Amino acid sequence: MYCSQCSHEIRPSDRFCPNCAAPTGEFQFEGDIPQVEPLETPTVVSKRPWPLPTSSNSFWVALVAVFGVVTAVTLFGLFLGLEYWKGNSANQNTNSNQSSPASATPTPASVSPTPEPKPKTQIVNDQFPVEAGKFTYYRFSADSAINVSGGFVAYGGSNDIDVYLVDEENFGFVAKGDEADSYYHSGYTQKGKVNKTLPPGIYYLVFDNRKAWFTGKSVAAEFYYQEQ
């Protein structure tokens, strides 16, 4: 005989295939089979799904969610307000510490800064000869009021020179050796200083050695004018 499941050879007395344990055919138990009382019908416990929210449940869920959001926003706002208050307090303390002492005298708002003086313009800054019986001059002009300042020293002969500061009209008189109105006239001298304020116009700084017949002079002079 052969097994109907795996074709393994079996003996007639085999109730199960020794190879695959399949039953070889119908068989009956010998003797009486004991009867067993049936068990009670078992209770089947099924998995109950989570109930879907009803309309009333949805209302309460939404209410709880809104309450949570409102609570979170309120707490966050309180936190920001507290931080802002701390920052303002720190700034006020810093400003109060850096404020000027009460004894300091404030600068009046009406006091304007002192303007820088305008630059000086050179008329002459040199040592030059003036021959006997002749004169030398330096011409300059200004469109506004000016201040003329400077000095001179004469060398040679009697160590003297005659210096004039005149406008254009009176320069013609000085050139002729006539009397003239001048803003400065040194007379024959060894040295001198000038500090005069002049209105706008054309001016001449004259170094006259016409009194000397034979001796030339050497003059060191430094003169400037500055707009007012």
Q: What is the CATH number of the domain that holds 131?
A: 2.60.120.680
Q: Rounded distance, CA 119 to CA 46, Å?
A: 109
Give the pLDDT confidence score for residue 115 in this predicted structure.
Answer: 74
Name the burial class of residue 206, with classes exposed (0-12), middle (13-18) and buried (19+) by CB atoms within 10 angstroms of its CB: buried
Domains identified in the chain, total number: 1
pLDDT tens digits, 192-211: 999 999 999 999 999 999 99
| Structure tokens, 138 | 């330096």
Within 8 A by CB and 6+ apart from 133, the residues are 209, 210, 212, 213
Please check whether residue 81 lies inside any domain of the structure: no
- Structural domain includes residue 159: yes
Say if CB 137 and CB 172 are below 8 A apart.
no
Evaluate whether residue 173 is within a structural domain: yes
pTM exceeding 0.85: no
> In this structure, is residue 143 part of a structural domain?
yes
The answer to whether position 83 is within a domain reads no
Nearest-CA neighbor of 166 among 186, 151, 152?
Answer: 186
Instruction: Provide the residue range defining the domain that includes 169.
Output: 120-227
pLDDT tens by residue, the chain, 228 residues = 778 778 777 888 777 888 887 887 654 445 555 555 555 555 555 555 555 555 556 777 777 888 888 888 888 888 877 777 777 776 666 665 555 555 556 566 666 777 778 899 999 999 999 999 999 999 999 999 999 999 999 999 999 999 999 999 999 999 999 999 999 999 999 999 999 999 999 999 999 999 999 999 999 999 999 998
Report the alpha-carbon distance of residue 85 to residue 68 in Å, rounded: 26
* 158 in a structural domain: yes
